[in-house]
Structure 1
Amino acid sequence: MAVQPYPLQFKAEMKERVWGGRALEQFGLELPDGAIGEGWMIGDHPNGTTKVVNGELAGLGLDEIREQYGREWFGTRGFSEKNGRFPLLIKLLDCNDDLSVQVHPTDVYDRLPAGELGKTEMWYILSAKPGAKIIYGLKEGIDRPAMESAINEGRIMDTLQEVSVEAGDAFYIPAGTVHALCSGVVVAEIQQNSDTTYRLYDYDRPGLDGKLRELHVEDSLNVIAYEGAGAQRMKTDGVGAGEWLSIATSPYFQVEKGIVEGPLALSTSPESFVILVIADGEGQVRYSGGELDAKAGQCFLLPATLGDYELSGSMTVLRSVVPA
Structure 2
Amino acid sequence: MVTGSTLYPLKFQPILKQKVWGGNKLQELFQKNAEGNVGESWEISGVEENISEIANGPLKGNTLNWVLENYKEKLVGEKVFKNFGNHFPLLFKFIDAREDLSVQVHPNDLLAKARHNSFGKTEMWYILDVEKNGKLILGFNQQMDSKKYLHFLSENRITEILNVEAVKKGDAFLLKPGTVHAIGAGVLLAEIQQTSDITYRIYDWDRPDTNGKLRDLHTDLALEAIDFNPPESKLNYSEVKNSPSPIGTTNFFAVNKLVLSENYLKDLEQVPSFTVYMCLEGSAIIETDDYSEEIKKGETFLIPAHIPKLKFITNSASFLEVYIP
Residue 28 of structure 1: CA displacement?
Answer: 1.5
Residue 112 of structure 1: CA displacement?
Answer: 5.4
**Count of equivalent residues:** 320
Residue 90 of structure 1: CA displacement?
Answer: 0.3
Q: Give the structure 2 partner of residue 266 of structure 1.
A: 266
Q: Give the structure 1 partner of residue 283 of structure 2.
A: 282
In 1, are the aligned partners of 2:77 and 2:272 still within 8 Å (CA)?
yes
Q: What are the superposed Cα offsets for residues 63-93 of structure 1, whole Å, 9 maximum, x if unpaired?
A: 1111111112210233484674100000000
Structure 1 residues 234, 107: CA separation in 2 closer, same or farther (over 3 Å shift)?
closer
Residue among 221, 227, 232 paired with 1:225: 227
Structure 1 residues 113, 267: CA separation in 2 closer, same or farther (over 3 Å shift)?
farther
Structure 1 residues 110, 45: CA separation in 2 closer, same or farther (over 3 Å shift)?
closer
The aligned amino acid for 1:212 is L
In 1, are the aligned partners of 2:30 and 2:298 still within 8 Å (CA)?
yes
Equivalents in 2 of 1:110, 1:197: separation in Å? 10
In 1, are the aligned partners of 2:113 and 2:120 still within 8 Å (CA)?
no
In 1, are the aligned partners of 2:112 and 2:119 still within 8 Å (CA)?
no
Matches within 5 A, 1:132-281: 132-228=134-230, 231-234=232-235, 236=237, 238-269=238-269, 271-281=272-282
The aligned amino acid for 1:243 is S
Equivalents in 2 of 1:188, 1:47: separation in Å? 22
Q: Give the structure 2 partner of residue 30 of structure 1.
A: 33
Equivalents in 2 of 1:162, 1:207: separation in Å? 24
Residue 19 of structure 1: CA displacement?
Answer: 0.6
Q: Give the structure 2 partner of residue 58 of structure 1.
A: 60
1:109 aligns with 2:111: yes
Structure 1 residues 265, 76: CA separation in 2 closer, same or farther (over 3 Å shift)?
same
Unmatched 5+ stretches in structure 1: none
1:300 aligns with 2:294: no
Residue 50 of structure 1: CA displacement?
Answer: 1.0
In 2, are the aligned partners of 1:94 and 1:186 still within 8 Å (CA)?
yes
Equivalents in 1 of 2:140, 2:243: separation in Å? 34
Residue 47 of structure 1: CA displacement?
Answer: 3.4
Residue 151 of structure 1: CA displacement?
Answer: 0.2
Structure 1 residues 181, 80: CA separation in 2 closer, same or farther (over 3 Å shift)?
farther
> Over aligned residues, Cα RMSD in angstroms?
1.8
Equivalents in 1 of 2:126, 2:102: separation in Å? 19
Q: Give the structure 2 partner of residue 49 of structure 1.
A: 51
Structure 1 residues 124, 176: CA separation in 2 closer, same or farther (over 3 Å shift)?
same
Q: What are the superposed Cα offsets for residues 186-220 of structure 1, whole Å, 9 maximum, x if unpaired?
A: 11100001000001100011011111001111111
Q: Give the structure 2 partner of residue 74 of structure 1.
A: 76
Equivalents in 2 of 1:191, 1:61: separation in Å? 20
Unmatched 5+ stretches in structure 2: none
Aligned partner of residue 69 in structure 2, secondary structure = helix
Equivalents in 1 of 2:246, 2:66: separation in Å? 31
Equivalents in 1 of 2:176, 2:312: separation in Å? 30
**In terms of mean alpha carbon deviation, does 44-53 or 271-280 score higher?**
44-53
Aligned partner of residue 73 in structure 2, secondary structure = helix
Structure 1 residues 147, 83: CA separation in 2 closer, same or farther (over 3 Å shift)?
farther
Aligned partner of residue 108 in structure 1, secondary structure = helix
Equivalents in 2 of 1:231, 1:80: separation in Å? 31
In 2, are the aligned partners of 1:125 and 1:187 still within 8 Å (CA)?
yes
Residue 312 of structure 1: CA displacement?
Answer: 2.9
Equivalents in 1 of 2:262, 2:170: separation in Å? 21
The aligned amino acid for 1:221 is L
In 2, are the aligned partners of 1:12 and 1:42 still within 8 Å (CA)?
yes
In 2, are the aligned partners of 1:261 and 1:315 still within 8 Å (CA)?
yes
Q: Give the structure 2 partner of residue 97 of structure 1.
A: 99
Q: Give the structure 1 partner of residue 10 of structure 2.
A: 8
Structure 1 residues 81, 179: CA separation in 2 closer, same or farther (over 3 Å shift)?
same
Structure 1 residues 158, 82: CA separation in 2 closer, same or farther (over 3 Å shift)?
farther
Structure 1 residues 303, 176: CA separation in 2 closer, same or farther (over 3 Å shift)?
same
Q: What are the superposed Cα offsets for residues 235-261 of structure 1, whole Å, 9 maximum, x if unpaired?
A: 55x412113222121111000111111
Residue 115 of structure 1: CA displacement?
Answer: 3.8
